[in-house]
Amino acid sequence: MSAPHETHSDQLLAQVAALPHLPGVYRYFDADGGVLYVGKARNLRKRVANYFQKSHGGTRIGHMISKIARLETTVVRSEAEALLLENNLIKTLNPRYNILFRDDKSYPYLKITGPPDRVRDREGSEAPSPSSFPRVAYYRGAVDRKHRYFGPYPSAWAVKESIQLLQKVFRLRTCEDTVFANRTRPCLLYQIKRCSGPCVGLVSAGDYRHDVESAEAFLRGDTQSVLENLESRMVAHAGKLEFEQAAELRNQMGALSRVLHQQSVETSSDNSDKDVDILVVKVQGGKACVNLAMVRGGRHLGDRAYFPSHIEDAAAVQDFMRGEEGADDAVTARPVEVQVLEAFIAQHYLSVPAPPALITSDRVSRELVEVLSQQTGVRITAVHNPREQRRLWLEMAEKNAELQLARLLAQEGSQQARTRALVEALDIAPDNLDTFRIECFDISHTSGESTQASCVVFHHHKMQNSEYRRYNINDITPGDDYAAMRQVLTRRYSKLAEAGRDPPDATPPEPAPESIGAEDGAAMKSSPRMPDLVLVDGGKGQVSMAREVFAELGLDLALIIGVEKGEGRKVGLEELVFADGRSKIFLGRDSAALMLVAQIRDEAHRFAITGMRARRAKVRVGGSKLEEIPGIGAKKRARLLQRFGGIRGVAAAGVDDIATVEGISRDLAEEIYRALH
């Protein structure tokens, strides 16, 4: 056995030698504190020591090991705990050498309001109560026990399609409670037989309760029991000579039969096929796609594609780790597909409930499935070589994964061609085309009100929205775009200019808090280096202002390019204006370089204007958040703002205080409090 790697400190090697022979999780850090890798081990000392006991040359694993400057470990009680902790840390720390699936937006659900015991007849009530007639609605967010949720669904489209089915068959209401409480005649949905008209008393609470129960059974996949229940109710009404009610139930059975017949995927009678996830991974050209198809309640709801990052680096590390595990492991290396699939399962089902059955394109470890079962409390099975209907689902998911991956590769190839075309058009010779970095700035305001500047970032051939910044512009003459551009460029580049550095691995300075839109997350840190190109949305005036700022800061004027509108402000006629004295150029309507410039410029404009609108709404009244809460109309919103003096006062109030406002019930007060916090 060769000596440990010469670049590592004696302190680090001593820490490795002192590790216990226990299960746990380890983290490697580089000299700047960046996380390189997170791993788990059944024997911490044995696993970690293997990294430092051999020379790995110029391999990917050798490159990672050479960067390790610090080590942290956490001892756990079992391998199951280690697996859960490992994937929680991967999602939190975003290590460079782990396969990482970025969190998507939360999955949507179908919601039926109110718990089951709220659906009751209310004899003697003067008007129908919304609480007696639950509504079906689209929902995205955290679930609670106040309502019933079905899902998750792979897309908003799948939820809305299911709502339409429930309207056609069971005629459940979808209107807000405030609309329900103020109706005096049936709406259009009643006229087209998509609602039973509970708001004006056209259906009793008891009959509506039966429809809700049937709808819930349908969503759970108990379609046969729903049909049998409808048939028994129909016969009972016919026996009492209540032929109108019997005809309604007959029509309902016919509608349900048509819906079931129209489903493109039919399931077997096996209960295990009611809730199933189908997971397929495809790898090509250094990229991977995991396609997740969902079956809920026996219905195929569609699929969603995920594209992990760090595939090649992570695969190299995991292959090394597997090979060094010891003689008790028969397999020395796993296919990349298996590594990607197991990483997705471990990370995805930390936050999304796992169904009882998983169908996978490759065999996954039994340990992983057992951990999922322990976490959910439900016995989960994973099948990688299914038959009959499950085989059809798997083949469908495989085809979709191939299509999604081909689309990604085509898009990336197109973006690389655009980046190359822009570099050639501007006669730039970057060290690495993949890391060629562009930052673009735009100013947005409404007649000088709520001025904001945006900075969007492009590198690695795509927009990097995690690095976007918004800047609140203050202390200027309202409407002075030139002064706004001066302020944002000064704030963005002054610290880099003062430091007089441009290293790729330097730690970025902490930015001042900025207003970032909800869609883009919290305020982001500044870039650690100067960009290769700075675009400003504007012509000679804005470029002149940018030139003054760069001259004062001692920065290269050749970095600045303005995007000037063409004749008639028509798209495709833009010209590029240079700050270093070069003549402006017209790239041509069909130029790939101009397409990239326009893409970045339009994204900067979008990011600036959405932030400006949000800030303007907050400054003017601050009531927009209230209007988004179900059950809050114009009158209740006005009462709340008047009582508490504005949205900040409402947000600072407790549930009891909010409930004292006229027209605000306790339940609605709790809903308002949750929405504002």
Residue 311 sits in the same domain as residue 459: no
Side-chain half-sphere exposure of 93, counting CA atoms within 13 A: 22
Residue 530 sits in the same domain as residue 577: yes
pLDDT at position 309, please? 77
pLDDT at position 535, please? 94
Q: Is residue 204 part of a domain?
A: no
Please check the confidence at residue 263 and state whether its pLDDT lies above 60: no
Residue 613 sits in the same domain as residue 637: no
Residue 277 sits in the same domain as residue 347: yes
* Residue 448 belongs to domain with CATH number: 3.30.420.340
Condensed to tens digits (0 to 9), the pLDDT of residues 465-513 reads 889 999 988 888 888 889 999 999 999 998 888 776 444 444 444 443 3
Please check the confidence at residue 64 and state whether its pLDDT lies above 90: no
Please check the confidence at residue 126 and state whether its pLDDT lies above 80: no
Q: Is residue 513 part of a domain?
A: yes
Q: Is residue 519 part of a domain?
A: yes
Calculate the CA dihedral of residues 459, 461, 462, 463 and round it to 10 degrees.
30
pLDDT at position 513, please? 35
Question: 257: pLDDT confidence band, cut at 50, 70 and 90?
Answer: low
401 is in which domain, residue-wise? 271-406
| C-alpha dihedral sign at 73, 75, 79, 81 | negative
pLDDT at position 528, please? 59
Condensed to tens digits (0 to 9), the pLDDT of residues 440-464 reads 999 988 776 678 899 999 998 889 9
Residue 476 sits in the same domain as residue 402: no
* Mean pLDDT, residues 272-295 taken together: 86
The domain boundary, picked from 569, 595, 618, lies at: 618
Condensed to tens digits (0 to 9), the pLDDT of residues 408-444 reads 888 777 888 889 889 988 888 887 888 899 999 999 8
What span, in angstroms and rounded, lies between the C-alpha atoms of 297 and 280?
21
Residue 402 sits in the same domain as residue 529: no
CB 189 within 8 A of CB 174: yes
What span, in angstroms and rounded, lies between the C-alpha atoms of 278 and 284?
20
pLDDT at position 545, please? 92
Peptide bond into 356 cis (omega under 30): no
pLDDT at position 313, please? 66
Residue 386 sits in the same domain as residue 440: no
| Percent of the chain topping pLDDT 70 | 81
Residue 393 sits in the same domain as residue 456: no
What span, in angstroms and rounded, lies between the C-alpha atoms of 478 and 446?
9
Q: Is 537 exposed, middle or buried (0-12, 13-18, 19+ CB in 10 A)?
A: buried
Q: Is residue 175 part of a domain?
A: no
What span, in angstroms and rounded, lies between the C-alpha atoms of 93 and 100?
10
Residue 392 sits in the same domain as residue 297: yes
Task: Indicate the pairing of strand 148-150 with strand 287-296.
Answer: unpaired
CA nearest 348: which of 408, 277, 404, 298? 277
Q: Is residue 143 part of a domain?
A: no
Q: What is the phi-psi region of residue 615: left when phi exceeds 0, alpha when psi lies from -120 to 50, beta otherwise?
A: alpha
The domain boundary, picked from 576, 596, 618, lies at: 618
Q: What are phi and psi of 287, to 5 degrees?
A: -120, 155
Q: Is residue 667 part of a domain?
A: yes
pLDDT at position 373, please? 87
pLDDT at position 497, please? 81
Among 45-59, 303-317, 366-380, 596-610, name the most confident range: 596-610
Task: Indicate the pairing of strand 108-112 with strand 136-140.
Answer: antiparallel
pLDDT at position 323, please? 54
State the residue for tokens 């075309």.
Answer: 421
pLDDT at position 625, please? 65
Q: Look at the chain and report how many structural domains it folds into.
A: 4
* Mean pLDDT, residues 582-591 taken together: 83
User: What is the DSSP secondary structure assignment for residue 176, as one 8-state letter?
Assistant: -
* Residue 83 belongs to domain with CATH number: 3.40.1440.10
Please check the confidence at residue 541 and state whether its pLDDT lies above 80: yes
More confident site: 664 or 637: 664
Write the DSSP assignment of 535-557 as a string of letters: EEESSHHHHHHHHHHHHHHT--G
Q: Is residue 319 part of a domain?
A: yes
What span, in angstroms and rounded, lies between the C-alpha atoms of 386 and 392?
9
CB 523 within 8 A of CB 541: no
Largest CA distance in the chain: 94
Residue 588 sits in the same domain as residue 628: no
pLDDT at position 279, please? 94
Q: Is 265 exposed, middle or buried (0-12, 13-18, 19+ CB in 10 A)?
A: middle
- Quick check: helix, strand or coil at residue 335? coil
Question: 235: pLDDT confidence band, cut at 50, 70 and 90?
Answer: confident
Please check the confidence at residue 388 and state whether its pLDDT lies above 60: yes
Residue 288 sits in the same domain as residue 387: yes
* Mean pLDDT, residues 372-397 taken together: 87
What span, in angstroms and rounded, lies between the C-alpha atoms of 511 and 509?
6
Q: What is the pTM of this model?
A: 0.60
Question: 600: pLDDT confidence band, cut at 50, 70 and 90?
Answer: very high
| Residues across the chain | 677
Lowest mean pLDDT among 79-88, 455-464, 597-606: 79-88
Q: What is the phi-psi region of residue 646: left when phi exceeds 0, alpha when psi lies from -120 to 50, beta otherwise?
A: left
More confident site: 455 or 81: 455
pLDDT at position 434, please? 84
What mean pLDDT is reported for the chain?
79
Please check the confidence at residue 324 and state whether its pLDDT lies above 60: no
Q: What are phi and psi of 326, to 5 degrees?
A: 135, 175
What span, in angstroms and rounded, lies between the C-alpha atoms of 423 and 426?
5
- Quick check: helix, strand or coil at residue 448? coil
* Mean pLDDT, residues 66-79 taken together: 86
Please check the confidence at residue 122 and state whether its pLDDT lies above 70: no
How many CB atoms are located within 10 Å of the residue 224 CB? 11
What span, in angstroms and rounded, lies between the C-alpha atoms of 336 and 672?
48
pLDDT at position 230, please? 72
More confident site: 545 or 388: 545
Q: Which two tokens stand for residue 290?
A: 């995991």
Instruction: Please give the helix or strand (H or E) that residue 676 lies within, else none.
Output: helix 666-676
Q: Is residue 318 part of a domain?
A: yes
pLDDT at position 458, please? 94
Residue 556 sits in the same domain as residue 654: no
* Residue 391 belongs to domain with CATH number: 3.30.420
The domain boundary, picked from 67, 93, 119, lies at: 93
